Amino acid sequence: MEGCGYGCLLVLEEMEHLKYLNVLTLTFRSASELEKASRFNKFFSCAIEDVSLEYFRDSRSLNIMALAKLQHLCAFRLWNCMDLEELKIKSNIIKGAGCFHSLRTVTVGECNHLKDVSWVTFAPHLEQLYMLQCRGLEEIISEEKLGEVAKLKGNSNLFSKLERLVLYRLHILSTIYCHALPFPQLKEVSIRGCPMLKKLPLNSNSAKGQKLIIEGWEGWWKRVEWEDESTKIAFLPTFKPVIF
């Protein structure tokens, strides 16, 4: 359902009476729209699988508590929210049952004031993460913020289901995560236009048994700083140069 404004909210009100509604896709363009929609029981009871937050201009900080309650949410898209600096989630939701357990794909694009997307650690089954043209993004996962999360949820399985990671035109991105991670399911990494990213969260034990492919520009690949020589030897064969 595109552009969930006043008219969309009226439709949601009518949907309260639809007995057999199972799947719903929603697009919101303001924090107030999201908050109002979350008041409808049908918003939570039907299988909302896809939510987009697009072209926000009224929020620097957004609490995504309502989305955390959506038990069937598979895909989340955050696009062109130019003023948005932070996504928050309340601790009482983190401790509860509805914490993005079904979320498989996250796409964030053209959100130039976001510094990190540490909240994705609340999605334990995340398979695909796309970060596109976010000029202010400095890191994917902040160790400081992850520490806050770990007290509530633990972080031993960080990115344990991730299969695909795409980073595109993130001009000041310097860190994915500050420590090496196992990445037991990782199959593809695509990094282009990220000149400040010089170290990957990998060691010689990362992505064991996977036929991993790392795509990127050859000039960037030559500047990658490896944790040690064994890590370098393990991952040099995984590289696939791209021109564009």
Which strand ranges, in their side-by-side order, compose the sheet holding 128-132?
A: 23-28, 47-54, 75-79, 105-109, 128-132, 164-168, 188-192, 213-216, 239-241
Phi, psi (rounded to 5 degrees) for 160: -70, -20
Closest CA to 79 of 33, 42, 132: 132
Ranges 41-50, 139-148, 149-158, 212-221, most confident: 212-221
- Is 184 part of any domain? no
Residue 174 has φ and ψ, to the nearest 5°, of -115, -15
Judge whether 30 lies within some domain. no
Residue 3 has pLDDT above 50, yes or no: no
Q: Answer yes or no: are the C-beta atoms of 105 and 127 closer than 8 Å.
A: yes
Average pLDDT over residues 87-92: 69
Length of the chain: 244
**19: in domain:** no
234 confidence band (pLDDT: 50, 70, 90)? very high
The answer to whether residues 107 and 78 touch, using CB atoms and an 8 Å cutoff, is yes
Distance CA 18, CA 10 (A): 13
Number of domains in the chain: 1
Q: Supply the mean pLDDT for the chain.
A: 84
The pair of three-digit structure tokens given for residue 79, joined into one six-digit string = 């696009």
Examine residue 174 and state whether it is found in any structural domain, yes or no: yes
pLDDT tens figures, 148-204: 555 555 455 789 999 999 999 999 999 999 999 999 999 999 999 999 999 999 999
Residue 227 lies in a domain: no
In a domain, 109, yes or no: yes
**To 5 degrees, how large is the angle CA 18–CA 24–CA 30?**
110
When mean pLDDT is compared across 22-31, 107-116, 176-185, the lowest value belongs to 22-31
Q: Give a yes or no: residue 183 inside a domain.
A: no
Residue 5 in this model has a pLDDT that exceeds 50: no
According to the model, what pLDDT value does residue 221 have?
Answer: 97
Asked if residue 149 is part of any domain, the answer here is: yes
Range of the domain at 68: 55-178
Is this model's pTM higher than 0.85 or not? yes
Greater confidence, 53 or 224?
A: 224
